Structure 1
Amino acid sequence: MAAAGKIPQPKRLLLPCYLLGHPQNKAFFCRKEILDQLNDALSPRAGAGLAVDGQEHLRSSPRKTFVICGMGGMGKTEIAVEYAHSHRADFDAVLWVNGASEEKLNAGFRDIAVKLGLQDETDPRDDPIATREIVKAWLSKPVRVQYPGPQEQEPDVKWLLVFDNADDPDLLTDFWPHDRVGSILVTSRNPLVKTGIFGELAGVDLPPMPIDEASRLLQKLSLRESEPDGLETCTTIARRWPMAIRLKKLSLKEFLERYDKDAKSFQELPVPGLTKDQTIASTWNIESLPSPARALLRVLSVLDPDAIPEDILTTGVSGVDLEHYPKTEKEYIDAREELLKSSLVSWNRDLGFLKIHRLVQDVVREKMSLDELRAAYNAAVTLVSAVWPFLDDSNLNKVDRMRKVQRCLPQVAALKAVLQEKTPSVLQPDIKISALLNETSWYYILQPSGYGLRDGEEFAVLSERVLDSFAGEKDEEHWTKLLADSYRYQGITGTYKNSPAAVTNCKKWLSVLVDRIEKYGDQADVKTLPIAYNEIGMALMRVPDLEEAKKSWIMSCETLEKVTDPGELVFPFPWVHRALVAAYYSEDLDSAESLIAPILKKREEKLGVDDTTTIETGLILAFMGNIRRLQGKADEAYEFRKRAVSVLKVTCGENSVQASMAYYRLAVDEFERGGFEKSCSLLAKCASFYGEIPWYKPEAARSAWKHGRALQAMGGSENQVEARKLLDEAMRLRHELVPDDGRPEPELVDDDWDRLVYYFFR
């Protein structure tokens, strides 16, 4: 007899797992009292759970948390690295995550998921929110073997999670593990982490090293151990730098604020008592470095300080126009060695990346003239561009390309920060940075997180500013291509965010495309033209201008029929949009079906039923469900919506706006069929995605209202209390959206809430 199906097998986690982030610093010394505090607070042996049947039950042991706060450069990360390495034997898993940004947190949690065996590295889905929740679920119930089904398992793994450089406590909210097992160590410049959103946490404001210890350390790091007065010189610096801060009567917070605004004045503060005038910046002897090492250091000063892959620094050297930059492998190794000897950078030999302290970056940038900074910046842009997987027909939406983008993303973010600080008109960067900004904008638009739209818009706007700063001679064909992409991504983000500029930017995009087609006849522009018409129609629906939107979609359809190769599937969305407005605004359901049903049929004939290779099929299934419901065919609508959910979860991710739209429609069907618990579960997923993202306020209001109604229908006192909260929240949001509608909640029906929502998300 054939097996009915593959029986789910237990999954054994890859333990022990030590994802330590940084190699142990063999030169680390002192700070024993801080390490002892960490061990007292974080050791799993401290306050361990009660033993039952000879086994230690970790759930009865409270969460152990410790925060190391202090100014940049005080050694917070080094202390955390030393503790993680020296106490790794106390834990079954030590997991290191860079908490400096959401992108780095997402990357860290993906590494954890892969290293533990919670996810396969070859998993084609790129859903950082789903990965994050998988890791958090395991941290809340850390077991060595995961059994299928709802079996209750006691935690049996001791873990330490390190959030390094977590200066913004709000970023940690979505990454903080549930339940209260395990040990968490946080390093941060922000003292509010200890008393913020996670309650009162144990911790320490890292004091300066004792003068004698700091003097010996500084002497060693500055290579002055052989100088006759080396120790005396370093002692003076160790004393005078804090004294200079105190003499200015600045608190730590005031110092950080002043330093950010005028770093150079602090870096150039004289250190009294030396044989000649010296400054803190000059103690690193940057200007005495060999020219190739200094050129490499200048490039490093504008890239991501936490991890700069070495292939980025070496692959595109032939195109670098920076005097003395190392062009051969030997030159690069020699330059790197000089920086390592001066302790200006650290090197992760196993992973192949360099790390540089932010304070060193600040000093290097401040000591460069504008021309020198421009040359270093443009060199960095050239190097990143050489390894960036630029979008073309061969790699569109390929998983491998997206991973390469993620690897380069922190470098583009660092380049963006320098460009924003100096402004494009002052820095006058290489035009290649515009292409990197556009590509990064598109990456963020495709992210499942709703806030990706905000980031995508920022990159696209900055790209336009770069292009506007170009004066004089330029490659007009290349320049206009980049400008068209910038307008395109500003238009798309504006449409989804309900920005008034959406129509303007989409029309600018169209205008540049038409002009380029007339001048250059580029076939890529010809094939992009109908997509521009389609996006203009979507933007016009935000006005709303229904008649002009329909004209734009008809133009898109007519153009697509001309440019689509025989046998190829047509870009479906202009027909889909026409079907939706026919159904929603004209109640012409026959026309709606005649527009969308043939599209779905052709896709099924070519790609198979419920295709998961593109996002289009899942959306078409969802919209077919809407049309069937309006036709009064509830059972058919229900089946279409179930199919839409299963497809969109794979193609767009479980936490995406597309999946959330499908969740809502299926939740309504479940409600009407009496499946109130299923309805609540789906609506909770909607709420998790929409959160407090401002441009999804209508969707959030609608899902809260339906969730409240579903809980009311379930009955029970607890459900009624929660229902009241949800309904009140829904009405609060509704009054913000339509303040003139004074109807009470009991009078409202589904259609009243659907009308709040942008047609494409209904």
Structure 2
Amino acid sequence: MVRIRLYASEGHAANPQVAVDAAMVAASILVQMPDLADRVSREGRGFASIHADEIHAGAAGTDWVAHADIVLDVKAYDATIRKQLHAGIHSIVQGEAAASGAAQKPEITTAVRAPPTTNDAALAAHVGGASRRFFGRDKVLDSLPQHPCEDFSVLATADIPINHSPFNMPLLHPTLETGIHALSFAMLSIVGNASNAGSYVLLPVLPWERLAIPVQVRARVLAADALNNLHHAGNGFVHIVAGAKVGQLGSNVARTQSDRRNVAAVPLEFLGQSDGHHIEGNLGHAVGEVFALAHCRASVSFETDDLEWLSDPRKQLTQAAAAAAADAAGGAEFAKWLLIFDNVDEITMLDPFWPAGPHGSILITSRDPLTKTDLATRGVDVPPMSEVECVLMLCTEVDELPTKPATKEAALALVRPVGRLPLAIAQCAARIRRTDTSIEEYMNRFGRGDLMNELKKVQVLPPQQQYKHVLDTVWRFERFSAPALGLFHVLAFFDPDSVSERILEVDAAVEAEPDGVPCAYPKPGEEYDNTRVEIMRTSLVNRNKETRSLSWHRMVQKAVRSKMSAVDAQRAYQLAVHLLHQAWEYAEDRFSRESRKRPACDEVVPHVLTMMRAYGAAVRGRPLALPSARRLVVLLQETGYYLILSAQHGAVDKILDLAIGICEAYGDDMRDLLANTKFSYARFGGETNMDPKRVLGYCMDYHTIRKALDDGSLESREDVASSHTSLAQGYLFLDQFEAALEHCQTCIAIEAALPGHEGVLSQFAHIYRAWALYGLQRDEEAAKLSMVVIQYRTTKFGQDDMESVKWDEEDVLTVGLEPRLGLALHCLANARRRQGRILASFKAYQKAWANYRATEGPDTWRLAQIDLKLAEIYVTQPNIPGTAELAKEHFDRAIKAFGRSPFHKNELARALYRHALSLGELKTPLGPQPTYEKAKGLYYGLRPEASRETPPGEAEFDSLVRFWSR
């Protein structure tokens, strides 16, 4: 705790201009503290925090403040960081006091210091183990150091142990119950026996009023009971957004709702992955069409726009209908919706899917007993299926009638010991079908066998572990043919939600690795069909006939993977790499990325991400054979590059880091692949605002390796030429335009000397040359060179160019545009605009916008750059009707797109500033400036060293972005 006293000079309130105001100096100091903490935290790579506990200045009845007192709370785990914080505070305080002209120096003292609390390792391990047994392993986490309050270390010795903030009151429920349970079981783990008892299964239904709705989850669930309690029930029009994998509860709720009047259902597939969550399918089209929502798009992932739709689901109405509607929101009619998440094993998976608004409900089912207190003030502990329902389910699965007493008795003898778990009953039914026996015969033969004895153990397990035990047990007792086992082992390393049989049903001839024994795998055709029939009989795997894809539960996949030996795991992993390498249609393409192959690559990407996460478990200290390692690196590098081109940057750095690590481990055998990966990393850096010096470093690495590998062959010379264009791009990021021109010219010269060259590489060099000329303000040369590139694309690829130039059918029909190339068109538009040729610039921007949207998607930063340029042009034409609305539309799109990306805060800051200018906020300094204040806040966050005395203007915001964005 740091105490600061700032002294004022003698003066009077009537003449503040001739005196030092201590309160103003204090305010100036305080606004700099967050930036100081952020800067020290980034530089020291550790936690740092500064906030004001107290500030006092003046007293009632006085005209002038004699002094101002500040009490700062400084937190850091690291002593070096704490020292830097204190040094920064002293520097800022003394600097502000000196700048104000105060005659007396400020007083700075350290009042209280509290040491960090370090847990006793043995005691923490003991309590952690007990907590995991009760709460479940997924609910007890080993975290980094936390900072509840600085007096935590001495809290137990206080007379009144209470957190000192007057406003510190977390949500009472479930905080109170969870805290009591955690403390109680921590104590009982030491002085008594902590119970493992818990609810069998929990079904919370969560409308926006955060109420829990009583619902029974059974084989034939009474879904109407749930619907009658949902807060939108009886409103006359309810839409359902449900998952294709929704279990019995979700499907029955959907079915019951659909039977009612004015109800529509939207089927979607819900997927949750560790590196990102999304709902697959044409959500924008489906929701927009069925709900009649405004602003629907053709195809989107379940992200910001979709949450906004659900938060504000206004239907498109005719004027007459809108006038007649008695809705409070301006005459709009709102759709009602029910979002169903069934069998949620990890509740945090749902974090990205919470809309905000009063127009719908969320229904969640889970086996986790704590879901009730995690999500609502009240929840429902749902009892298991009754014995009668279990018997009916078993008999239905094996196609028997429970009318015979012997059948009913045998069925009861089977379902009772397995805990009445639907999954266990389904697994037993599958075995009965495969043995071609009745339930009675099966129990007579196997009722006292090892399988039933193992399944009986489920009765003493906590609910979170019951399904895992059933799956592990069933898998252990299954007996498969060698091809079926090989197929299972390969599936263990693929994404479990959907594996296309296009990937699986191929000739999987691969080197006998790692122990000289080939991996058994079904051959295409009859053997594969027979193997698929074999594994489908187990009920462990599902098949979608329409998409010809296999899927299984993640718990099944984990069970299979856990039972594999190290050698089997590596053998299956290498075979999986081989299958994906064959399925990846870009693997042999060196300079083209044809969009017509995107659907095939989209099928492979989730599996490459799964392989990346499973790499350590598959290798286990035994390096992959060189051919498999090379295939894996090619897959990783290609996938990373593909995701970069698709503006999906989330997992790219992890993918490329693994590829570089593998390449470096194999040395010279993978130098060529290391070069390609460095090239991809440079492209990734350019797309994500990485430090330009680091980007240039990757470009130089790529160039150096390619020069070292140059053996004079046609391919190696092309690679060297390509490395010069990469260097040119790296120098552009640093505004070193002459160097960029030099490397572009070198690339062109190398390709010109190659026999039969077609100028494929030179077109990229021409694009970067054009941008370098634009950076040198040689606008006419830049424009002409851009036209050369556009003409080259038109001549070479014509109307069917499916690489970098795309057709947009709507544009072709309504505008009649020629094929376009985004980067060249962007450069052409910039050059024409700076020349004052606004109409030519506007047309080029329009074509660039259409090209970027067709090639990269609707929400990318390149498209946002063009949106901003178009908005700025519309602003300059206020006399043309409709331009104000069009400018706002483009500003809004640009700001939203930049705001989605964690890498483009600089572009967002400048876009907000340009929008503030268009709104006239800076013309009235004393008026409200909400947009400019947002821009200014971002600017100071990006430039913490900037002076606060002069507000940032056009030059400052332009300095945040690279030259092509200005």
User: Do both proteins adopt the same fold according to a TM-score greater than 0.5, normalized to the shorter chain?
Assistant: yes
Q: Name the residue aligned to 1:389.
A: 585
Q: Whole-Å Cα distance in 2 between the matches of residues 42 and 351 of structure 1? A: 32
Where does 1:397-546 land on structure 2 (aligned, <5 Å)? 397-422=593-618, 426=622, 428=624, 430-431=628-629, 432-448=631-647, 452-470=648-666, 476=669, 479-497=670-688, 498-499=690-691, 501-518=694-711, 521-523=713-715, 525-542=716-733
Q: Whole-Å Cα distance in 1 between the matches of residues 682 and 228 of structure 2? A: 52
2:935 to 723, 726, 730: 730
1:113 to partner: Cα distance = 3.6
Where does 1:354-753 land on structure 2 (aligned, <5 Å)? 354-392=550-588, 396-422=592-618, 426=622, 428=624, 430-431=628-629, 432-448=631-647, 452-470=648-666, 476=669, 479-497=670-688, 498-499=690-691, 501-518=694-711, 521-523=713-715, 525-542=716-733, 548-562=739-753, 571-584=762-775, 586-589=776-779, 592-593=782-783, 595-596=785-786, 598-600=788-790, 614-615=804-805, 617-674=821-878, 675-691=883-899, 693-712=901-920, 723-724=929-930, 726-742=931-947, 748-749=953-954, 751-753=955-957
| Change beyond 3 A, Cα 1:540–1:289 | same
Which of the pair has more CA radius of gyration? 2
Is the partner of 2:711 in helix, strand or coil?
Answer: helix
1:660 to partner: Cα distance = 1.0
Contact 2:322 2:333 in 1 (8 A): no
Is residue 2:508 matched to residue 1:317? yes
Q: Output the amino acid matched with 2:267.
A: L
1:572 to partner: Cα distance = 3.8
Q: Whole-Å Cα distance in 1 between the matches of residues 223 and 950 of structure 2? A: 53
1:372 to partner: Cα distance = 0.9
Q: Output the amino acid matched with 1:291.
A: A
Is the partner of 1:695 in helix, strand or coil?
Answer: coil
Is the partner of 1:317 in helix, strand or coil?
Answer: coil
| Change beyond 3 A, Cα 1:580–1:204 | farther
| Change beyond 3 A, Cα 1:530–1:81 | farther
| Change beyond 3 A, Cα 1:280–1:131 | closer
How big is each residue's C-alpha offset from its partner over 1:384-439, in whole Å with a ceiling of 9 and x where there is no partner? 23332235559944343100111222222222221144458545262322222122
Q: Whole-Å Cα distance in 2 between the matches of residues 630 and 461 of structure 1? A: 41
Q: Name the residue aligned to 2:499.
A: 308
Q: Output the amino acid matched with 1:614.
A: S
Q: Name the residue aligned to 1:230.
A: 447
Is the partner of 2:599 in helix, strand or coil?
Answer: helix
Q: Name the residue aligned to 1:98.
A: 270
Unpaired segments of 5 or more residues in structure 2?
1-214, 291-296, 326-331, 387-414, 433-438, 513-517, 806-819
| Deviates most, 367-376 or 426-435 | 426-435
Q: Output the amino acid matched with 2:956.
A: D
Contact 2:905 2:938 in 1 (8 A): yes
Q: Whole-Å Cα distance in 2 between the matches of residues 195 and 241 of structure 1? A: 25
| Deviates most, 499-508 or 109-118 | 109-118
1:445 to partner: Cα distance = 0.8
1:666 to partner: Cα distance = 1.8
Q: Output the amino acid matched with 2:912.
A: A
Q: Whole-Å Cα distance in 2 between the matches of residues 445 and 756 of structure 1? A: 23
Q: Whole-Å Cα distance in 2 between the matches of residues 711 and 193 of structure 1? A: 47
Unpaired segments of 5 or more residues in structure 1?
1-29, 51-55, 68-74, 119-124, 247-251, 260-265, 268-278
Q: Whole-Å Cα distance in 2 between the matches of residues 636 and 659 of structure 1? A: 19
Q: Name the residue aligned to 2:482.
A: 291
| Change beyond 3 A, Cα 1:445–1:754 | same
| Change beyond 3 A, Cα 1:35–1:295 | same
Contact 1:604 1:610 in 2 (8 A): no
1:694 to partner: Cα distance = 3.3
How big is each residue's C-alpha offset from its partner over 1:243-262, in whole Å with a ceiling of 9 and x where there is no partner? 3559xxxxx6xx89xx9xxx
How big is each residue's C-alpha offset from its partner over 1:451-510, in whole Å with a ceiling of 9 and x where there is no partner? x23423322222232333448xx9x5xx44433322221221123331454223222222
When normalised by structure 2's length, the TM-score is 0.59
Q: Name the residue aligned to 1:21.
A: none
Is the partner of 1:92 in helix, strand or coil?
Answer: strand
Contact 2:735 2:963 in 1 (8 A): no
Is the partner of 2:272 in helix, strand or coil?
Answer: coil
Q: Name the residue aligned to 2:16.
A: none
Q: Whole-Å Cα distance in 2 between the matches of residues 720 and 165 of structure 1? A: 53
Q: Output the amino acid matched with 2:835.
A: Q
| Deviates most, 665-674 or 416-425 | 416-425
1:208 to partner: Cα distance = 6.0
Q: Name the residue aligned to 1:10.
A: none
Contact 1:215 1:234 in 2 (8 A): no
Contact 2:595 2:802 in 1 (8 A): no
1:696 to partner: Cα distance = 0.9
Q: Whole-Å Cα distance in 2 between the matches of residues 564 and 181 of structure 1? A: 66
| Deviates most, 134-143 or 587-596 | 134-143
1:348 to partner: Cα distance = 2.9
Q: Whole-Å Cα distance in 1 between the matches of residues 844 and 484 of structure 2? A: 62
1:652 to partner: Cα distance = 3.1
Q: Whole-Å Cα distance in 1 between the matches of residues 605 and 543 of structure 2? A: 20
Is the partner of 2:651 in helix, strand or coil?
Answer: helix
| Change beyond 3 A, Cα 1:395–1:642 | closer
- Output the aligned Cα RMSD: 5.0
Q: Output the amino acid matched with 1:679.
A: A
Is the partner of 1:682 in helix, strand or coil?
Answer: helix
Is the partner of 1:691 in helix, strand or coil?
Answer: helix
How big is each residue's C-alpha offset from its partner over 1:664-693, in whole Å with a ceiling of 9 and x where there is no partner? 122222233345543332121112212253
Q: Whole-Å Cα distance in 2 between the matches of residues 178 and 230 of structure 1? A: 52
1:748 to partner: Cα distance = 0.8
1:655 to partner: Cα distance = 1.6
Where does 1:275-286 land on structure 2 (aligned, <5 Å)? 281-286=472-477
| Deviates most, 597-606 or 425-434 | 597-606
| Change beyond 3 A, Cα 1:137–1:116 | closer
Is the partner of 2:557 in helix, strand or coil?
Answer: helix
Is the partner of 2:610 in helix, strand or coil?
Answer: helix
Is the partner of 2:281 in helix, strand or coil?
Answer: helix
Q: Whole-Å Cα distance in 2 between the matches of residues 425 and 501 of structure 1? A: 31
Contact 2:277 2:352 in 1 (8 A): no
Q: Whole-Å Cα distance in 1 between the matches of residues 965 and 612 of structure 2? A: 32
When normalised by structure 1's length, the TM-score is 0.72
Q: Output the amino acid matched with 1:741.
A: A
Is the partner of 1:694 in helix, strand or coil?
Answer: coil
Paired positions, count: 667
How big is each residue's C-alpha offset from its partner over 1:601-654, in whole Å with a ceiling of 9 and x where there is no partner? 665677789999735633323223322333344454344334433443334333
Contact 1:308 1:354 in 2 (8 A): yes
Q: Output the amino acid matched with 2:544.
A: N
1:374 to partner: Cα distance = 0.8
Contact 1:98 1:104 in 2 (8 A): no
Q: Whole-Å Cα distance in 1 between the matches of residues 272 and 751 of structure 2? A: 44
Is the partner of 1:668 in helix, strand or coil?
Answer: helix
| Change beyond 3 A, Cα 1:447–1:354 | same
Q: Name the residue aligned to 1:221.
A: 427
Q: Output the amino acid matched with 1:664.
A: L
